[in-house]
């Protein structure tokens, strides 16, 4: 396995769209149902748009009905950080990428009970999708194992 150093890359930050910058760097939220990944079912992984660190896999994605991509668990818990968020008069748990420090979304405890009960409600603007067929080419080949036995592979 090739070791990667994931970090907040200033060059990557400078290439972000206005929406991506607002979400990842200013703790913003994109509109529900008007983002590219909320209803995507394509097999692959989702990585931090800034650092490239692997965050979520399509095998853990489900339709939460909220209009944002939702996952039951991260690929590697070490790549996400949970922070108490009391903004907007609510008590929530913010989710950030561990190495890129990108705001990703929030964590709720109303996910599918049979899959752990958690809902990682993420912003598409914070994510870059790497299709299953491109995992090796893009340096994420070790994550192909997540799809073994999956009909989509």
Active site residues: 121
CA 3 – CA 11 distance, rounded (Å): 21
Those residues with Cβ within 8 angstroms of residue 90's Cβ, 6 or more apart along the chain or in another chain = none
CA 130 – CA 135 distance, rounded (Å): 6
Those residues with Cβ within 8 angstroms of residue 88's Cβ, 6 or more apart along the chain or in another chain = none
């Amino acid at each position: 396995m090739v070791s990667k150093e994931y970090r907040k890359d200033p060059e990557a930050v400078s290439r972000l769209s206005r929406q991506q910058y607002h979400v990842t760097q200013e703790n913003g939220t994109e509109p529900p149902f008007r983002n590219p990944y909320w209803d995507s079912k394509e097999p692959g992984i989702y990585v931090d748009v800034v650092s490239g660190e692997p965050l979520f896999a399509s095998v853990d994605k489900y339709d939460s009905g909220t209009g944002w991509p939702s996952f039951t668990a991260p690929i590697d818990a070490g790549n996400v950080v949970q922070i108490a968020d009391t903004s907007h008069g609510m008590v929530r748990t913010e989710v950030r990428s561990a190495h890129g420090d990108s705001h990703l979304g929030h964590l709720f405890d109303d996910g599918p009970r049979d899959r752990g009960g958690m809902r990682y409600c993420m912003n598409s603007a914070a994510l870059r999708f790497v299709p299953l067929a491109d995992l090796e080419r893009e340096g994420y080949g070790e994550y192909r194992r997540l799809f073994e036995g999956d009909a989509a592979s």
